[in-house]
Amino acid sequence: MKIGRLSFLWLIAGAALVSGCSSLGVKPWQRDVLAREEMRLDANPLDGAIDDHMYFSKEASSGGRSFAGGGCGCN
């Protein structure tokens, strides 16, 4: 049976969800490093938005980090 690359990623995600998460993580008093600005997933939202707009207008892909909708007639 042929399994596509995306299907394989779905399988990995599912396996990680059901098995791995409970053994990972830190205690609340160990979040000092995670609280730094650069550890936020949206540390520089405007940089990301401007880059996404540039790539959306020049490439055939968009989204992934967030919703893929364009809101722009440039592509």
Partner 1 sequence: MQLKSKAPPAKAANTRRRLMAASCALLSAGAARSQEPSAASAHSGLLEDWSVDSALAYYHENGRVTAVEPVVDVSKVFADGQSLNLNATFDALSGASPNGALPSHSPQTFTSPSGKAGHIYTIAPGQLPADPHYSDARFAFGGNWTKPLTRVDQLSLGGKFSVEDDFVSATVNASIAHDFNDKNTTLSFGLFNEFDSLHPVGNTPVPGSDFTSLVREGGKTKDGVGALLGITQVMTRNWLSEFNLSVDRFKGYMNDPYKITSIIDSAGNTTGYEYESRPDQRLRKSAYWENRVAWTSQVSTALSLRYMSDDWAVRSDTAQLHLRWSLSNRERYIEPTFRWYRQTAANFYTPFILDTAKQSTGFESADSRLSAFHALTYGVKYAQKLPGFGGRAESEFSVRAEYYQETFNEHVPVPAGLQGLDLYPSLKAILVQFGWRF
Q: Which residues bind partner 1 (CB under 8 A)?
A: 4-6, 9-10, 13, 16-17, 21-22, 24-36, 38-47, 49-51, 53-55, 58-61, 63-73, 75
- Give the number of C-alpha atoms closer than 13 A to the C-alpha of residue 35, restricted to the C-beta side: 7
Tokens of residue 37, six digits: 């600005």
CB 1, min distance to partner 1, A: 18
Do residues 72 and 56 lie in contact, with contact meaning Cβ atoms separated by under 8 Å? yes
Q: What contacts 45, CB < 8 A, 6 or more positions away?
A: none
Q: How far is the CB of 11 from partner 1 (least distance, A)?
A: 11
Instruction: Name which of 1 and 41 has its Cβ closer to partner 1.
Output: 41
